[in-house]
Structure 1
Amino acid sequence: MRLKHYEDNGKLFIRLLLSITLCIVVTLVVSSAILFTLFNRIALKQVYQSDLAALNQTSKEVVGMTESAQTLSFQLYQNLTISKLMFYAKPSIYDSVAAMQELSNYLNSMPFIKSIYVYNPNSPYVYLSSNSKQNGLLAPSELADQDILKMLDDYQDYKPFTPIPRTIPVDVDSTERQAVYTYLCYDAIGLTDKVNSAIIVNIDAQWINRDIGSHNGQANNGKSFIIDNRGRLLSGDNLLVGRSGDEATTLIHRIVADEDSDYFIDQSGGEKSLVSYTKPDSLEWRYVRITPYSDVTRQVNGIRVLTIAVAAAILAAGLIASFVLSRRLFMPIDRMASRMRTLETEKRNSLLTLRQDILRNLVLGREALNPRPLRRRMDDLGIEFDFQNEYRMALLAIDRFQSFSDSSGPDARVYKYAIMNICYELASQSYKVETVDMDADGVLLLLGNSQAAPFDDQELLESVLRHIQQAILEHLRIGVTIAYTDADSHAVHVHTMYKRVKQAAQHRLFEGYRALIRASDVIMPMLKEYVYPVDKEKRLIESVAAGKVDEAMQLINCMVNETRSHSVQVARWLLSHLTMVLTNVLHSLQRSHAIVFERSPEHMLATSDQPFETLQEAEAVFQALLEEVRDKLAEKRSMRHEDLIKHIHQIIDEHYGDSNLSLNWIADRLDLSPSYVGRIYKQITLNALIDVINSVRMERSIELLEGTHYSVAEIAERIGYTNPSYFYRMFKKHYGVTPTDYRRRIAGDEGKVAKG
């Protein structure tokens, strides 16, 4: 009770410690969140104030440019020379020349002016002074900037001396357009509702764009825009219509609805952004700056990370200090509790060992079958299983046991206990259960009648065993094969039943991994004596020596399948004998063909200490072995053929000048038949031998034609042709020209190079 009391105190202390820790965490999180929010607001306010100052400065510059354009327009109207173009339908040639000279002077003195138009509706011309090719007196139809004529027709839509952003053709024969500010100064007094005269000044947009676009030199991805007096959203980079769609419309309405300067956070271009804007200026224009929110809060994010890091460090230090203190306070109690747990574990393990020993000795026939003393001993150990009532056995054999043992090492016994626990948990729902570790690859499952389910229900039994197989595979990644017996009710048959289920489990060799084997289905009396097929062994040896994998595997499969009607021992003997036969064949191949295998034949095949668990495993090993033998033999043959090809090429290079050089001549030199030499050469190189001889001779003839002064007949003789005419035909077939023409061409090319 005292120990329980101490444990309760320990839980109370842990709860207090967790509560304090939670308070610290909440305090740190809340304070960090408040600081982060305040930092965000400060950062937004700073960026807004910076953007607003820059936008207001831009507004002043645009208004100043407008005033300059207005002053220029008044000067042009008041200039007597230029006014003659506006008020006289047909001014004299002298007046026209003088006025155009005045316009040119204004244009040259103000580099920000792109062009100046003088418009008189009564004149057949539009007077144009610009830096482009189109200049002078032009008929309205000849004017490249046709949009200005439409603007003059609809002059009521535009306010005088208010900049009109638009694009005009770069030149009369160009499709490229450039952005300009257009300022209209016109006289429309009268009853006709038409312009009586007008001066149009186009200012290069770049003079203002450099102040409006990426102004104030901020190192971020922000963009500037203008909302003009017509409610259009214009890009600050080129003064063209910037954005369209519902998003731009919503943005414009939100800004226009506010008569003062301000800022807000909204989505822009699919990204959260800070939108700063000015109040309307004298042109009724508003300037907008859109800055990505991530750029605004970049520094704040750094502060947030630093704050979180400091808070985490403080929290970690507090947790470490609390843990150390709690360990010091509860160390004596922990030692006492640990000692008690150790004693309980030792008692439980000792009891488990005794239970396992008595059950194992019972099924192995080492325990005396005296019913009353046996029952008394089992009751003392807490074994409730009754061998006088109906029971059956199921033996679980671990698949690929050698691999399992190598990978699990000292933990193999732990895995087997886990298998026993899974068996007990799943089978105890329908049967009385005891599990026994049989000290090899097996776990024995004893199933007794518990009245919870019909004991003779075969489908239920197989369902439970399949469920056990699946659970072991899912939780432990281990496959097991299960063999089980029919029911019995006599204690004296325990050992006999175990031998029967163990013998049935060996039929995994035929059934394969994760099989469910019923002992009564596979254990049968041997009907006839097994006779080893000596003739098939001879054919197998011949097939392996020839590298015929498919034929050899068919023979092995046939020999193995013949053992299915006999006992497992016969099949295992056959596999062992085949292993020995194949090992001898490998040694013979090593001696006769000088084949070097990556591993010795003994290691390439399973040994008697590690027998095959299934026929599929044996077939896979044999298949891999035979394929390696086939590949080694093919490699050996290929190496011999490659040496033969190299020797043939050496003979051709040394004797290409011999007129007797031919397939038969080379075959005689090699002491081989011409048909064999020709076939192997064509098979390896994909070329006929005579074609290769001719190709080598042609290559040598090129060298002699280029590097010597021998005649064509001498060259033909030197490369092995006795007939110069035949050499001529072969050379022209290969290169498309005769030897003589080829030499003349080479000489001509060298002469050109020398002159150059």
Structure 2
Amino acid sequence: MLFPLKSPRKTLFAKMMLTLTITVTLLILALSSLLYRNFFTASLDNINRMNTSILSQTSYSTKYMDSLVSKFINTVIMSPYTSVLLNNTDNDMVTLGSAFRNLDSLSLPHDYVYSVYTINLALNRIVSTETGNFYTKEDFYDQDIISLLQTVNKDSFAEMPIARKIPNPQASTASELANVYTYIVPDGLETNSSSRIATVINIKASVLRDMIASLNAKMSGPRNEIIVIDSQGTIVNHTSESMFLHSAKQEPYIQTLLAADQESGSFKTNLNGQDYQVTYVSSDKPNWKFISLTSYATFIGTVDTIKTSTFWICLTILGLGLFFSFIMSRSLYIPVGRLVETVKEHLTSTHNKDHPTNDIFFLQNVFNDMITKNNEWENKQREQLAPLKNKWLQDMLLGIRYVDQEALRVSQKELGIHLNLNGPLRLLLLRLDNYRDFLDSYNEKDRWLLKFGIANIVNEFVSEEYKLENIYLENDHLLLLLEISPLENVETTEGALKRLIELAQKAVNQYLKLSFSATLSIPVNSYLQLYESYSDTLALSSYRIVAGHNSFLTPTFRSSIKETVISFPESKAKLLLDSLKLGHLDKAEEAYSDFINQLSGTTYENLLSSIMQLSFMLKTTFNIILESDEFRKSELFQIVSRNIEQFETIEEIHETYSSLFSEIIRVMEQNKHNKHNSIISRIIKMIEEQYRDNNLNLRIISDEFQMSNVYLGKLFKDATGKSVSEYITDVRMNHVKQLLDNSNLSTKQILSQCGLEETNYFYIIFKKRYGVTLSQYKIEKTKRE
């Protein structure tokens, strides 16, 4: 009778919970839409950064190739043999042939050189290292170069190298063409075009194409491409050889690139009904543009998956929310309903004379019950307070949350933050050392417990002198927010904290068998400067790579860093590469040490940039070794191929590079040994096939292999234990014995077939080899028959 509105109250609670559920769902949808847009933008920015980095490496490799070719051109031009081939008017084939062999030997060690021409149109003489023949301009197989030479002028040098297809005179069909980059070095342009003299260097286009293919493998997706075009929109390199010299000028995105003023950039285009992100980088020498085409399908799929997942999550939350709204409304109403029922029963009992009730005792019981329920509710809230406080402080630190003074006061009270966030503050950033090993050794739960343990140990020491709050961050980061006195001296604070951190580091190492490095920020005046201070402190913590593990970095340390950029120690890098090529490990390590010492005191960014450039030079120079299947399977490749930023200390980088140097030299020595074995096998085969030629000797064999006869002779003797002439004699004598045993030929006929002459020297060798004279051998043979 007194409380007829019980059902409406339940309905009210249900409506409240339903409203809360719908509000939360709408907020999730709104935030998800914002995160979707941000994730899409971030994915696109990441693709652009990655592609720009890859294209920059390609551009650098092209410049590096151009630099190598320039040095080779200088070597060729300065060679006296080139001058003989260009200017000798006697047409003495002995002189010209000797000059050609020496010119060919100059180009032989350079794998990237396809061929070298020497052209004198006035003498009508062309020499090509590709075939080793002399030509007139009428019968020369590469007629295109003659036309180019006659039309070349001073403006043409800006377009070098020239991408061309040249006939392959050794191919089985005339349609087989080779893709090359051509450098024309004329001997003066003042002469008549029909009488010009020039040296022409053809470089294999496959060198750059292989490099692009290697870099293109880093891009995810089969529809992604890296192409290179010249200033006219012609493709001068592509992962597919068939696209070489294909004109792409008619493509709208190529027209946009050619009209662009910036050296690099990116934009969206549509190709064959598919959306692509175009990223490009320009180079001045040669005047080429390096282009990356990335299909939106390679990264938009992940974004769409997140969008679909978010939609279904929101529907699930809404459905569960509706269900739990009903359950929770009933749960929330139960205490109130009980209280109402209790009061109703009490009021009814007061009118029942048989059951009198003490009103004060009744109210005491009711309120005790309410206090108990309230305490249970507060305990549940207290359990959730720590993560809420950590999230609130994280948002303040990362610049995600902005609060005014009133909101700050309320939040501090609700979350139990006892620091004065409007006073002087300092950040103490802790970073776990050997984080990759930490991830491999512990599961997620253990990692969290260990980070919690580190925070407690550091808190125990630092809280003796400072008020602080712990902020748990992602990855290897942990942060302490310290309140400092406005009158405290900066140097005194740094000294005191260094002492406390060293004690904490020892304790962490002793009890947890872990170590961490610490970085101290500059003082800030209020919470509004926390985001900027955190970014600055995070950048300073990167100098752990120099200071090493278990270090303590302060703003004073930053003042010792040279802000001026130190130029890349190119001479030391080249000395390192040369030492590795020669197989001198000690000299390579010494050059690397000098390389690092020259960068001493520079900025973190400058140091890493220089090491990355050195790494790229190593990959470019020793590409065949580093890209081999055997090396790719090794643990060393996994270390070298990851980003250099993942190394924590310079010592880790030193150890990795030292192992890399040793492996490169080992593989080079192995390849050299294999190459020598191949040469020895070919020499033996040649002797077996040509032993009948009585003129066969070391000089003829060395000319055939285009090697020094002294070097070839030493190489053969080291491998077989015999000189070339001794081996030739052994082969001939073995065949002499076979013919003596199995034929009725005369001695003269046998010697003629075996490349020998009937001289006293032969009879001496025969007796020395078989222990009897030739006559005695024939008599014994007759007896055996």
What is the TM-score with the length of structure 1 in the denominator?
A: 0.43
What is the TM-score with the length of structure 2 in the denominator?
A: 0.42
Q: Identify the structure with bigger relative contact order (alpha carbons < 8 Å, sequence gap 6+).
A: 2
